[in-house]
Amino acid sequence: MIKAGIIGATGYAGNEIVRLLLGHKDVEIAWYGSRSYIDKKYADVYRNFFQIVDAKCMDDNMAALADQVDVIFTATPQGLCASLVNEEILSKAKVIDLSADFRIKDVAKYEKWYGIQHKSPQFVEEAVYGLCEINREDIKNARLVANPGCYPTCSTLSIYPLVKEGMIDPNTIIIDAKSGTTGAGRGAKVDNLYCEVNENIKAYGVAGHRHTPEIEDQLSYACGKDVVISFTPHLVPMNRGILVTAYASLTKDVSYEEVKAVYDKYYDNEQFVRVLDKDVCPQTKWVEGSNYVDVNFKLDPRTNRVIMMGAIDNLVKGAAGQAVQNMNLMFGFKENEGLLQVPMYP
């Protein structure tokens, strides 16, 4: 049994980590970190935990937390984990950061896209990008894991096999993505009010969303050369879910069977990636509440393009579920422990 602490337990991603860890047989939650609700009962912040969690919210003192737990999750705004983590903390506890602080290896690039100064550049090289299906072996030995972003998780897993096998020209990739509103966090913002979101759909971050360099980096590692993409996210009126539709030019004539064989090569043994049957397009409802990523593709001979599609629950595979999957790998637990939720439907 290990002990876990969550800094940012009162956010949407932190709340989802709590939900998943309560169902994990090898983990006890020892610290519900918060900034605004210190000493308030956690179940008073999230009443779905009434009579399930008795603990009160604690502060975000990462040094004190590291003395008491084996693993620390930071589900906090960009920059916070980098401002708190140090060598002493990492020598005592493993850290899984859900923010983007350690996802991008080029510190100058991170600072440009996020508009903040990196407070711990000395740990950037060491941090392992926690996309389990691709970096599994490195994650097992990591002290610090950079949990991938929600859009990058869905985009990369949808596209990766074809980039890796050279089947598409990576510099022709266009990613069109949609997210539910929990992706924006629980903090009050006018843009996320019911009347702004309901019955509406809009693009945002056009030609400048901060996930662009993260996706480009992962695809560049896959094909061994610099990749530049177009990425446009949209906000849609639903709570959870991300849907990715990505387009790219094929490098040669290929059949459905050849492309399917490539997806199967990478995902046949991946429990959480489901390559759907021919002509079935992923839907967010089919993965809601679960750690699954549903992917599929369609060839369009008329344009010589392939259309790659993926769906995840942004709070599970896009955040807390992937963080727990990373924790399982780091501590030698079964990779799917605590992650066997069947998607809820409807």
Ligand X SMILES: CC(=O)N[C@@H](CCC(=O)OP(=O)(O)O)C(=O)O
Active site residues: 150
CA–CA separation, 248 and 70 (whole Å):
43
Of 21, 29, 95, 98, the residue at the interface with ligand NDP (CB under 6 A) is: 98
Candidates 4, 21, 29, 34: give the one binding ligand NDP (CB under 6 A). 34
Q: Could you say whether residue 14 binds ligand X (CB under 6 A)? A: no
Residue of 11, 33, 149, 282 that binds ligand X (CB under 6 A): 149
205 binding ligand NDP? (CB under 6 A): no
What is the CA angle 249-250-256, rounded to 5?
125
Closest CA to 52 of 18, 1, 12, 6: 18
Is residue 183 within the footprint of ligand X (CB under 6 A)?
yes
Minimum gap (Å) between residue 13 Cβ and ligand X: 7
Q: Please tell me what DSSP assigns to residue 200.
A: -
Q: Which does 235 bind (CB under 5 to 8 A by kind): ligand X, ligand NDP, none?
A: ligand X
One-letter amino acid for residue 198 of the chain: N
Torsion of CA 262, 266, 271, 272, to 10 degrees: -90
Query: Strands across the sheet with 174-179, in order?
Result: 202-203, 230-235, 174-179, 242-249, 305-312, 293-300, 273-275
Continuous segment of H or E residues that includes residue 167 = none
Work out whether 184 is an interface residue with ligand X (CB under 6 A).
Answer: yes
Q: Is 233 in the site for ligand X (CB under 6 A)?
A: yes
Q: Is 146 in the site for ligand X (CB under 6 A)?
A: no
Read off the DSSP letter of residue 162. H
The answer to whether 318 and 241 have CB atoms below 8 angstroms apart is no
Binder among 75, 154, 236, 243 for ligand NDP (CB under 6 A): 75
DSSP run (H or E) holding 174: strand 174-179
- Select from 119-127, 177-185, 221-229, 288-296 the region that touches ligand X (CB under 6 A): 177-185
**Of 320, 327, 339, which Cα lies nearest the Cα of 14?**
320
Minimum CB distance to ligand NDP, residue 147 (Å): 7
Residues 93-132 that bind ligand X (CB under 6 A): 99-100
As beta bridge partners, residue 31 has 5
Give which of 243, 345, 346, 333 is closest to 20, Cα–Cα.
333
How many residues bind ligand NDP (CB under 6 A)? The answer is 29
- Measured from the CB atom, the residue of 100 and 273 that comes closer to ligand X is 100
Binding to ligand NDP, residues 133-152 (CB under 6 A): 149-150
Task: Select from 117-125, 166-174, 176-184, 254-262 the region that touches ligand X (CB under 6 A).
Answer: 176-184
Q: From the list ligand X, ligand NDP, none, which binds 166 (C-beta under 5 to 8 Å, kind-based)?
A: none
Region binding ligand NDP by CB under 6 A among candidate stretches 18-26, 120-128, 212-220, 315-323: 315-323
Neighbours of 54 (CB within 10 A): 9
DSSP 143: S
Answer yes or no whether residue 181 interacts with ligand NDP by CB under 6 A. Answer: no
- Using the rule CB under 6 A, which residue among 77, 121, 205, 343 binds ligand NDP? 77
